[in-house]
Structure 1
């Protein structure tokens, strides 16, 4: 018998003997919450009344069972109260769902989780870092809302966002206060195709957009001259413009309204920074461990034999140390820091296997210029030129525009993304000449201000990463939206809530956007940028 066969025989004998001597109790569900739906006032009077009468009894029964099975006897089975007293004042130590990132994506995820299941014991905690808010994409986003995409899921998410924002006052209203406003400025996005190849792609994408219910019109150069006589379209072959559900929104007001609504739903926001993850490893006998030390798969087996049970978060206060927060589900919605947070959990650090594939989300510096152009007609649409790289948006009813230029791969590689200073040569050398070429009125434009924003860009295919990790199934990623965060994060958060509660996507199928496509090297290419 060979040495390898002897080792296998010894491993099997040790494993069989260990199973005979160890006794395990029955595995219990992590909380046993009922998946109850929420009834709005006036929706179904009888079911809503019955739900209100029986809810307290089901909650008392659940708390009684939890107290009886508490090994540390921290709560009396009859007289115990809530898990935590004054959660809004103390640092949490446990949560059902822990969301890393309090921006638009993280707050939207918390909103849909608590909107669908409003149980006070179902604890949702959002960790946010105030130091990263001033340069985050949620704070500095232009708030573009468009319907023109080359991927069907993007069209569906934008349409849902438009419908949600149309009734934002109803969804996000807090008690008897005034309905919140998101200051939607409607205007269609005008995409210009200057080659026959891009015109052919525009026609194919137009068919897809119509099939998904978007209202988009194709315009020939004569139609462009008739509708927008101030545009120079001598080199344009074909154009497309959105007829409805397109414009810009105030992401500051939208995020503030969602956060205020979350507080009334019981979501706890914690000012802290994640410094690591807490793991729990399955026990291994010393004999088995000693035989596996010299094996090639020892490192990968170490990762397989552990699971994530929480994070270590350091409160943003003087001389504070990191404290553990246990959680059943962890959502990585940290935007540009999503790749860094994933590496803390070992994702992308292993030598082989699933954990060798990183989450390819990094922060990318983008520069935007606010210009005042008094000679430009006020009815100018949102212009998308230079094959989708140049964007010019009107941000109010006057003559103020926000312009930016998406860099090429070569230009992006040469940018120092850690430097937040503004490079005005981008405007004077690349943006301004093209604007004057399209609209002569931009010749008198003046720069009012300029700023840089750090966007969470997926360097693999520029599409978001949505869903659980193949190995650590309780770690979910909700990041990589880039410039499409304002128009897609709300819809993606609703789909994530469906995935958590029902185990599948119902409204919009976002299964293509999980980590499997990165493992299989199957990118999702989106032709339209905003």
Structure 2
């Protein structure tokens, strides 16, 4: 296994807020998170290593609380129907019910709320990452840090049933520039899984994906790029307290409790016009002052007196087409599989996506969850798979 991220310092996993929820609008996303929360609950059954200490994910089952304005109330109702049909335990709350359960919330502008009763909350992302590494290393997997610089492939022309001639490619060798070396290491391979997160679009280009004439399958790019997102940590002595769920406001701002000392973390996704430069991980503190804090203070009056303690930035592997995952093989580069593009909900769905890709590789088809709607071909066909609950 090769990774181009030395010690994962810029990887999305370690820089995420570690949330998991079933409150999505697409059945596939609900199913992915239901599978993953079961995996997390029984983590040591899957990732336990003999003679090593058990993993403690520090799972906080505090749920997600999503708030909708009048404009979004009907969509929220439909979403909750989908979630319940898939087996998620979610309830709807009126403004009065919301005020009774969470008296620290200002319900002005809230027409409806949805609240996860089970299987939602947050966990330690770093612990999950290290647990996965430890387990696969115990099974003989070798990790190598390096940068993929080139693919060597063979081509085979064939005719489709409609009479169109297409060229299929198969990757035979990956060239990897190793750390502290001027030389590249050629690695023979039967299968390449592109799980490079925010940089997976660049890896796809190296394989020739998107390099053909515009409007053709060969010219269709993998529309995944890095988007920078800020996370702020603040202290508020009179804040909501230990019963705080992860709250997603109708404005786009979100927050949750962090630890036990009246600390909270949160942020807000920028508009397309406000997207920050992804070339670095510097934090814009003015963004909090102008775009995040006003929404927090409006929704939770106690947050008018918060004090920011720290902040960081991380990357979304942002799918610019429909903000949903890309899972499965490329139709022309036949042995490159994708597991990317989740636009902020990849970590919580990673166990289920890993299972799905393994099923494709080993069995040739999905067995646990049908993710065919997430195939790459939808970009060429122009068929968006829209998720309404992107945070």
TM-score w.r.t. the length of structure 2 is 0.94
Q: Which of 197, 200, 216 does residue 74 from structure 2 map onto?
A: 200
Q: Which residue of 2 aligns with 1:110?
A: none
Higher mean displacement: 207-216 or 132-141: 132-141
- Equivalent pairs counted in the alignment come to 383
Matching of residue 187 in structure 1 with residue 62 in structure 2: yes
CA distance in 2, matches of 1:392, 1:233: 16
Which residue, 366, 385, 390 being the options, matches 1:505?
A: 366
**Is 1:349 the counterpart of 2:349 in the alignment?**
no
Residue 332 of structure 1 deviates from its aligned partner by 0.5
Q: Are residues 1:327 and 2:189 paired?
A: yes
Report the equivalent of 1:31. none
Q: Which residue of 2 aligns with 1:465?
A: 326
Structure 2 unaligned runs (5+)?
A: 158-163
Map 1:143-154 → 2, pairs under 5 A: 143-154=18-29
Q: Residues of 2 paired with 1:130 and 1:382: CA distance?
A: 29
Q: Distance in 1 between matches of 2:5 and 2:259?
A: 28
Among 431, 448, 451, the residue aligned to 2:312: 451
Match of 2:249 among 385, 390, 393: 385
Q: Kindly tell me: are residues 188 and 313 of structure 1, through their superposed partners in 2, closer, same or farther at Cα, counting changes over 3 Å?
A: same
How far 1:408 sits from its partner (Å)?
Answer: 1.9
**Any runs of at least 4 consecutive aligned residues in structure 1 with deviations exceeding 4 A, and if so which?**
none
SS at match of 1:140: coil
Q: Which has the larger radius of gyration?
A: 1
Q: CA deviation at 1:335?
A: 0.6
For the Cα contact (< 8 Å) 2:121–2:245, is it kept in 1?
no
Matched position secondary structure for 2:230: strand
Is 1:528 the counterpart of 2:389? The answer is yes
Residue in structure 2 matched with residue 396 of structure 1 by the alignment: 259
Q: Determine the C-alpha separation between the residues in 2 that align with 1:427 and 1:262.
A: 39
- Which residue does the alignment assign to 1:175? 50
User: Match for residue 120 of structure 1?
Assistant: none
Q: Quick check: which one's helix share is greater?
A: 1
Shift of 1:381: 2.1
What is the CA-CA distance between 1:416 and the residue it aligns to? Answer: 1.8
Q: Deviations over 1:83-106 (max 9, x none)?
A: xxxxxxxxxxxxxxxxxxxxxxxx
Shift of 1:516: 1.3
Give the alignment of 1:18-97 within 5 angstroms: none
Q: Deviations over 1:417-472 (max 9, x none)?
A: 21422111111112111111111211221111111112210111110111100111
Partner of 1:37: none
State yes or no: 1:160 paired with 2:35: yes
Moved more, 338-347 or 475-484: 475-484
Give the match's secondary structure for 1:160. Answer: helix
C-alpha spacing 1:424/1:305, structure 2 compared with 1 (3 Å): closer
Q: CA deviation at 1:150?
A: 0.2
Tell me, what secondary structure is at the counterpart of 2:226?
strand
Q: Which residue of 2 aligns with 1:280?
A: 154
- Per the TM alignment, residue 281 of structure 1 is displaced from its structure 2 partner at its CA by 4.3
Structure 1 residues 250 and 305: alpha-carbon distance in aligned structure 2, compared to 1, 3 A threshold:
closer
Give, in angstroms, the shift of residue 132 of structure 1.
7.8
Equivalence map 1:85-124=2 (5 Å): none
TM-score, normalization: structure 1? 0.70
Relative distance call for 1:132 and 1:174 in structure 2 (3 A) is: closer
The Cα offsets for residues 62-118 of structure 1, whole Å up to 9 and x where unpaired, read as xxxxxxxxxxxxxxxxxxxxxxxxxxxxxxxxxxxxxxxxxxxxxxxxxxxxxxxxx
Q: What's the offset of the Cα at 1:238? A: 0.7
Residue number in structure 1 paired with 2:379: 518
Maintained 8 Å contact 1:338/1:362: yes
Q: Distance in 1 between matches of 2:376 and 2:156?
A: 25
CA distance in 2, matches of 1:233, 1:132: 43
**Is the contact made by 1:465 and 1:478 (CA closer than 8 Å) also made in structure 2?**
yes
